[in-house]
Amino acid sequence: MCGIVGYIGYGNAGDIIIEGLKKLEYRGYDSSGIAVIKDGKIEVRKQKGRISNLETAVENEHFNSTVGIGHTRWATHGAPSDANAHPHISMDKTIAIVHNGIIENYTELREWLTKDLGVIFTSETDSEVIAHLISLYYDGSLEDAVYKAVEKMRGAYGIGVLCSKEPDKIVAVRKDSPLIIGLGDGCNFIASDIPALLKHVRSIYLIENNETVVLTRNEVKIYNADRKEVKRDVFHVTWDEDAAEKDGFDHFMLKEIHEQPKGLFETLNRRLDKNGNILLDGISMTKQDLEKFDRVYIVACGTAYHAGMVGKFIIERFAKIPVEVDVASEFRYRDPFIDDKTLFIAISQSGETLDTLAALREAKKKGARILSVVNVVGSSVARESDDVFYTWAGPEIAVASTKAYTTQLMCMYLIALYVGYTKGVLAPDLYNEYIRELKFIPDKLKTLLKTEGDILEAAKGLYKKEQVFFIGRGPDASVSLEGSLKLKEISYINSFAIAAGELKHGTIALIEQGSLVIALATQDRLFEKMLSNIQEVKARGAYVIGLAKEGNKEIEKQADKVFYIPDCPDDLTPLLSVVPLQLLAYEIAKLRGCDIDKPKNLAKSVTVE
Q: Name the residues annotated as catalytic.
A: 2, 604
Q: What are phi and psi of 483, to 5 degrees?
A: -60, -40
The secondary structure of residue 385, as a DSSP letter, is: -
Report the C-alpha gap between 222 and 211 in whole angstroms: 7
Pairing status of strand 543-549 against strand 516-521: parallel
Report the C-alpha gap between 495 and 236 in whole angstroms: 42
Q: What are phi and psi of 18, to 5 degrees?
A: -65, -40
113: phi > 0 → left, psi -120 to 50 → alpha, else beta; which? Answer: alpha
Report the C-alpha gap between 202 and 198 in whole angstroms: 6
Report the C-alpha gap between 450 and 443 in whole angstroms: 11
Report the C-alpha gap between 606 and 8 in whole angstroms: 28
Name the helix (H) or strand (E) containing 417. helix 403-423
CA contacts within 13 A on the Cβ side of 574: 32
CA contacts within 13 A on the Cβ side of 193: 30
Q: In what order do the strands lie in the sheet with 494-499?
A: 494-499, 467-472, 516-521, 543-549, 561-565
The secondary structure of residue 240, as a DSSP letter, is: -
3-state DSSP of 15-79: HHHHHHHHHCHHHCCCEEEEEEEECCEEEEEEEECCHHHHHHHHCCCCCCCCEEEEEEECCCCCC
The secondary structure of residue 197, as a DSSP letter, is: T
Report the C-alpha gap between 552 and 577 in whole angstroms: 14
Report the C-alpha gap between 60 and 538 in whole angstroms: 61
For residue 252, give the amino acid letter: F
Give Rg (Cα) of the chain.
Answer: 25
Contact indicator for 350, 395 with CB cutoff of 8 Å: no
Contact indicator for 79, 124 with CB cutoff of 8 Å: yes
